[in-house]
Structure 1
Amino acid sequence: MTTARPTPGAPTAPSSRARWAGLVFISVAVALIIVDSTIVNVAIPSIIDDLGITSTQVQWVQESYTLVFAALLLVFGTLADRFGRRRMLIIGVAVFAASSILAATAATGDLLIAARVAQGVGGAMVLPTTLSLINATFRGRERALAFAVWGSTIGGMTAVGPLLGGWLTTYFSWRWAFGINIPLGVVIIVGVLVFVRESKEPLTASGTPRRVDVVGALLSVIASATLVFGLIEGRTYGWWLTDTAPQLGGWTWPFALSPVPIAFAVAVASGVGFVMWGRSREKQGKSAMLAFDLFRIPSFRNGNLAAMIVSLGEFGIILSLPLWLQNVLGFDALQTGFILVALAVGSFVASGFAGAFGNRIRAVVIVRVGLAAEIVGVAGLGLVIGPDTAWGLLIPFLFVYGFGVGLATAQLTGVVLRDVPVEQSGQGSGTQSTARQIGSALGIAVLGTVLFTTASLQLDARLADSGVPDAQRQQIVSQVVDSSGAAIAGLENDPALADAATDAKAAFSEGTRYSAFAAAGFLAIGFLATLRLGAGPAALGRRDRDAEQPDDRDEQRENEQPETAPDPHSR
């Protein structure tokens, strides 16, 4: 019998086993950067004690990573298309691991901030590249399950991060919260080299990658960075006039006008410039940083809008819940992490659900089921939150919420990228990831404002009703709000202020409740936004069905080849 052999020089489809093994290491890479974005929050008190950093440095240790990460997602997603997605993933993990060494050995706050900036660069290389690799590797029935694993990893790791950080900080050192990234990075790089096939967009007629739009890249970085900066820092520095003057080294912001509206103005100007410049290059037949034709695809355009709104509701609650658990209910970092594990369990269960039903139910329907579960979970948390809430009441709602995150995040990603050409996967993934990051930053800004404004007003009213003098009342409110609730423990230890501590717990609980209800409201808007996705095909899209048959034939040929046939994974 004549056996079909691969055409010399043609790319060979990886075996099914290799694809799924590769997905494991891709998911671990996602877990690495998601955990690191949350693990630092519980380690901050120990970092303050060890390095003696200022409150301004504390803020930048937490937010420099997010700022750089969000600013570079689109750029690295596009560069991965040009020069190789697997190559970009490996470089990103290497940068992330190397900067983790710097963070783990940092002797000063400034060195730690610099390391966090470098981690943001590495993380921005990793996230959109993992998405584009999945989009380029999986087809047909397998793609829904692959995206489910990816999405559940994000949802689960968001909850596992505080647990891991609390354990390492409590029993070892905050430095291990960064040091653990180093062996994981080595494992990821080896696994990706062995099991993940390289993919990139086709070369030009001259045999070279398309030229990079440097001006477009610069404009996209400026627009993303200034927008995220404004969203994150508005509550701190003031939305219009300066409340707290920013400081950088020995320099202090000297103007009455806050830097936040200036940042928003720069974001709008550079964003408009980015669009005009990119469209001009496309009319000239040149490559642009973002393929604007992608927005003519209804699933991509409407899916990105829905993803941004959903992220606004999903990740804002992650800010307020750990603060309430530790500062009101009195749990330590490790106990808080254990409670949030319920969210992670729900998220991982969702991947099994998606695997069982992802090819029988349309992806958009699964997204809506996930969003409905998120709304029920978050609204339920709002109903039970109080100064004396038993932790057992939180577990069912956290599980339901995590289950919804696992469904909605993965399947919405699949819907957004469903009709994106494979050669533009990096651009599409970077755009989708940027939309999510902007939504997350907006969620932190809006829901953080709801939390602290409500807590401030409630505490001020309660103290006034108790007859506390104005000066003392303002001082207590300021201490509680500025410390994100950490000052409650000090009030409680002072017998003269025990009643004020009780009022502070009740007020902070009210703020957390309203924050949860606001998150549920935004998720409901996101649910409505998915109604515009209803016209698309089922989870097994037309492009997937067309692409599925060649994949199946490739796998069949591979199984029929004699042992002397070339190994598709030989190096």
Structure 2
Amino acid sequence: MTIAPNKWLSLVFISVAVSLIIVDSTIVNVAIPSIVDELAISSTQVQWVQESYTLVFAALLLVFGTLSDRYGRRLMLLVGIAVFVVASVLIALAPTGDLLIGARVIQGVGGAMVLPTTLSLINAGFRGRERGIAFAVWGSTIGGMVALGPLLGGWLTTYFSWRWAFGINIPLGLIVAVGVLLTVAESRDAHDGRRIDVVGAVLSVLASAGLVFGLIEGRTYGWWLSEGERRLTIGDWTWPFGLSPVPVSFAVAALSTALFIWWGVRRARRGQPTLLALSLFAIPSFRNGNIAALIVSLGEFGIVLSLPLWLQNVVGYDALQTGFVLLALAGGSFAASGFSAAVSSRVTPIMLVRAGIAAEIVGVAGLGLAISATASWLQVVPFLFLYGIGLGLATAQLTGVVLKDVPVSFSGQGSGTQSTARQIGSALGIAVLGTVLFTSTGAALDTRLADIPTLPDSARTQIVDAVVTSAGGAIPALAARDAAVGAAAREAFSDGTRASAFAAAGFLALGLIATLRLGSGSRRDDERSDAEAGPDLAETQDV
């Protein structure tokens, strides 16, 4: 199949649309210390600034992936860009942390419309080797923007305001919208006019929301019993039970997941539409690839939460300097895209995925070894570059592996499922690694302060709470008042960041093991995958 030149031009704007939402998911990292200072948000709110976006993003990807198949992929992309830009304006004007988090929720809705739609447009518009190239461009864009976002955010935060880090989305969104209108052809699954699975959509939202809420709020409200004065409060209502809302949240997630599967199987047997085409999981590459994608994403992006906080609050860099350090990620990702293109004819995508994850493991574990209270950018940049290489290799190639056997008529659901797996992994990564960071920091700081004999216990507790609650933002002020306390706080936050890095490396190692289920990557494996896909999907492939 020959791709017309305008298809490649449309790929440019599709990739820029992806970059818009990826930049915004990373740009906030270097802006967080400034947001903490101006809006006085807590460390739990810091996690929610990240998670409110990622959680809604993950929860709605399947819904909008299905809707885009039915009502138009380009239409869904344009609506998503509009919602995203409006939410960015609200964030830039937010006077409080709670309103900022609420606007991030709306922004997550827009992002959930954009991401699966871009994948679906590529899956529907490209074939064969061209599809592989298109996915590589898409994946390299994500890898590069993961690093360029902090650089742009650092520049805007340092010389203007953290609010401009979100306001920049207005002109970028307009450029993307015009480009999409001019170059991207509409694409939809016109033969399917059946109703949307509303119950399945609600259950999927409850499942992902319940899981991430429990992981983030466990250290605030208690993992089992309610923590005294720190009970869940919404307006004038306070959680009345001795049992913490966290295990209740986990139970809701587990029950919703079970009901989602039961409901989908029941509707499929009746020939009714489901939110997720369960028949897709008969495709080995799709089934196993999504499992691997979730685990890998859990380890990939969690470290991006802790590293900017450490660079600014411990090393002492400003937001722009932090962005320059994280630029090493972009360099590695771009280098990986060139390497991937050069060897794609000789090395299978699965082998590139494994090589990428291995590079990420070495890079993140190296960061854990390099991080200390006295470290500088020279110690961390080489490992960030290696991590970027791995990120660039694994992201694009794993996407191609997951979707390579998915029928075009299911491209929205397929790409939505793949994106959901990644985003749930990212949400879990931020929740789990954020909890590791702040819990480890608090424990390490309490131990180190106990070695200062002149410091009373009450003061030690206050200092630990101040450092953890401010996500490390209180460290410079503490150091200015008491050098010993400041040194202990820097060392403890470095300990927490190091623990977070090692935890990320552990999850990536599990992800590497999960890719063994994808086979060896030989042509024989591909043929076997097609044969195992089943007759229903084989017939659908011709639609």
Give the structure-1-normalised TM-score. 0.87
Matched residue count: 527
The equivalent of 2:490 in structure 1 is: 505
How far does residue 67 in structure 1 lie from its aligned partner after superposition? 2.5
- 1:489-500 matches, within 5 Å, as 489-494=476-481, 497-500=482-485
Distance 1:107 1:286 in 2: 46
Tell me, yes or no, if structure 1 residue 67 matches structure 2 residue 55: yes
- 1:494-533 matches, within 5 Å, as 494=481, 497-533=482-518
Worse-matched range after superposition: 262-271 or 335-344: 262-271
Select 2:290's aligned residue among 282, 304, 313: 304
Tell me, yes or no, if structure 1 residue 471 matches structure 2 residue 455: no
The equivalent of 1:548 in structure 2 is: none
Tell me, yes or no, if structure 1 residue 393 matches structure 2 residue 383: no
Select 1:331's aligned residue among 317, 323, 330: 317
Q: Deviations over 1:432-485 (max 9, x none)?
A: 111112211222222223222322222222222332433222222222222222
How far does residue 62 in structure 1 lie from its aligned partner after superposition? 4.1
Tell me, yes or no, if structure 1 residue 174 matches structure 2 residue 169: no
Q: Deviations over 1:358-383 (max 9, x none)?
A: 23211100001101110111111111
Amino acid at match of 1:401: Y
Q: CA RMSD in A?
A: 2.4
How far does residue 415 in structure 1 lie from its aligned partner after superposition? 0.7
Unaligned runs of 5+ in 1: 1-12, 546-571
Distance 1:531 1:59 in 2: 33
Distance 2:521 2:407 in 1: 16
The equivalent of 1:233 in structure 2 is: 217
Q: Deviations over 1:147-181 (max 9, x none)?
A: 22212222222222222122112222333222211
How far does residue 420 in structure 1 lie from its aligned partner after superposition? 1.1
Worse-matched range after superposition: 148-157 or 179-188: 148-157
Distance 1:374 1:14 in 2: 35
Tell me, yes or no, if structure 1 residue 276 matches structure 2 residue 262: yes
Amino acid at match of 1:272: A
The equivalent of 1:118 in structure 2 is: 106
Tell me, yes or no, if structure 1 residue 453 matches structure 2 residue 439: yes
The equivalent of 2:536 in structure 1 is: none
The equivalent of 2:184 in structure 1 is: 196
SS in 2 for 1:199: coil
2:36–2:473 CA contact under 8 A, matched in 1: no
How far does residue 282 in structure 1 lie from its aligned partner after superposition? 0.9
1:148–1:351 CA contact under 8 A, matched in 2: yes
TM-aligned CA distance change 1:280 to 1:536, over 3 Å: farther
Amino acid at match of 1:303: G
Distance 2:423 2:451 in 1: 41
TM-aligned CA distance change 1:61 to 1:385, over 3 Å: closer
Distance 1:140 1:282 in 2: 30
Select 1:322's aligned residue among 289, 308, 324: 308
Distance 2:494 2:475 in 1: 12
SS in 1 for 2:346: coil
2:348–2:521 CA contact under 8 A, matched in 1: no
Larger Rg: 1
Worse-matched range after superposition: 23-32 or 254-263: 254-263
TM-aligned CA distance change 1:128 to 1:481, over 3 Å: same
TM-aligned CA distance change 1:506 to 1:53, over 3 Å: closer
The equivalent of 2:392 in structure 1 is: 406
The equivalent of 1:355 in structure 2 is: 341
Distance 1:57 1:369 in 2: 36
How far does residue 145 in structure 1 lie from its aligned partner after superposition? 2.2
Tell me, yes or no, if structure 1 residue 81 matches structure 2 residue 65: no
How far does residue 427 in structure 1 lie from its aligned partner after superposition? 0.8
The equivalent of 1:421 in structure 2 is: 407
Distance 1:461 1:287 in 2: 57
Distance 1:24 1:356 in 2: 21
Give the structure-2-normalised TM-score. 0.91
Worse-matched range after superposition: 189-198 or 286-295: 189-198
Distance 1:529 1:108 in 2: 42
